[in-house]
Amino acid sequence: MSWQARVISFLLRHTFKPRLARARDITAVRKAMNVPFARALPGVRIENGFLGGVPGEWLRAQGANAQTEIATLIYFHGGGYFACSPRTHRPVTSAFALSGFHTFAPAYRLGPEHPFPAALEDALSVYRALLARRAAGSLVVAGDSAGGGLATALLVALREQGLPAPAAAALFSPYVDLAASGASVRFNSERCAMFNSKLLPLAAAFYVGERGDPRAPLASPLYADLHGLPPLLIHVGEQETLLDDSLRLAARAEQAGVQVRLKVWPDVPHVWQLFHRWIPEGRMSLREASEFLASHVSASRAAEAATACSRQKRMAGG
């Protein structure tokens, strides 16, 4: 693909990756994963807020309002379930805001201080709070890495609890297998620009604990029953250690009857959408995700309108 993507991947592979590999405790790992360039795009308003008791950031394009926006989007940041925050992922959340989504990025609780299922409980609280204000067809979810895994686990939990699903979900390099059983964990360990295979067991231990089950379906939704989920867009890089998480999730979801749009991108680092200011593939991915989510919001609203019209006709005829 682009020379910019290859340059960013080279820089990450020779700076960020070795620094992360040298980290030996939670403080050092979190420091290594800090994103110093995480600034919102111009033209976006950011407000602190709470949903369902969970703190986070609201992002909205300047001049936008409920009548002009496409939908409300919940964005779950990545960071292995133990690092990062809504602030670190402002390059992505602000891009969604400029694309017409009123975006909430929750500061869900992180391990190891708050292990599984704390993050999922926060995700459910946020979604329920929005569902009390909006129709499910006007809601969408997205996330990257661990945030993509959390978004997927949320969809499974909503189905299990009998709650209506959002219109669609966009997942960027989702981390959905804490057991790290995919072949790409090994064959891409050196090729991946950001992570080697040694980091993944550490992240899993921070999230589910030393004695927790890394294959628990709501911690690792790759092992969950995926039937009934809304349409999914999945973007992943071909050189990532997490490549097989996406490939297997897409395959299992399609087998369960879920509509899936999977795209594997060459020469990009993990969650390259964060670098969209410099990488054209980042802008392309965010644009495709926004268009995907918007199209399914439109379809959900049309279906809701048709159902309401049919109900009114039946009542009139009765």
Average pLDDT, the chain: 94
Write down the catalytic residue from 270, 276, 285, 290: 270
Please give the average per-residue pLDDT across 270-281, as a whole number: 96
Does the active-site annotation cover 270?
Answer: yes
Reply yes or no on whether the pLDDT at 245 is more than 80: yes
Does the active-site annotation cover 238?
Answer: no
The per-residue pLDDT for range 292-307, each reduced to its tens digit, is: 999 999 998 888 777 6
| Percent above pLDDT 70 for the chain | 95
Helices 118-131 and 146-160 pack at an angle, to 10 degrees, of 60
Ramachandran bin of 41, using left for φ above 0, alpha for ψ from -120 to 50, beta for the remaining angles: beta
Give the other-Cβ count within 10 Å of 101's Cβ: 27
Reply yes or no on whether the pLDDT at 4 is more than 80: yes
Does the active-site annotation cover 160?
Answer: no
**Could you give the number of structural domains in the chain?**
1
Reply yes or no on whether the pLDDT at 22 is more than 90: no
Q: Of the ranges 34-48, 103-117, 256-270, which one carries the lowest mean pLDDT score?
A: 34-48
The per-residue pLDDT for range 61-120, each reduced to its tens digit, is: 999 888 889 999 999 999 999 999 999 999 999 999 999 999 999 999 999 999 999 999
Write down the catalytic residue from 69, 77, 138, 240: 240
Please give the average per-residue pLDDT across 53-66, as a whole number: 94
User: What's the confidence (pLDDT) of residue 210?
Assistant: 82
The per-residue pLDDT for range 142-201, each reduced to its tens digit, is: 999 999 999 999 999 999 999 999 999 999 999 999 999 999 999 999 999 999 888 899
Q: Compute the distance between CA of residue 54 and CA of residue 249 in angstroms, rounded to an integer.
A: 28
| Percent above pLDDT 90 for the chain | 82
User: What's the confidence (pLDDT) of residue 21?
Assistant: 87
Reply yes or no on whether the pLDDT at 37 is more than 70: no
Q: What is the CATH number of the domain that holds 187?
A: 3.40.50.1820
User: What's the confidence (pLDDT) of residue 307?
Assistant: 66
Reply yes or no on whether the pLDDT at 318 is more than 60: no
Reply yes or no on whether the pLDDT at 24 is more than 90: no
User: What's the confidence (pLDDT) of residue 265?
Assistant: 98
Write down the catalytic residue from 94, 99, 145, 184: 145
Range of the domain at 207: 3-317
User: What's the confidence (pLDDT) of residue 302?
Assistant: 84
pTM of the prediction? 0.95
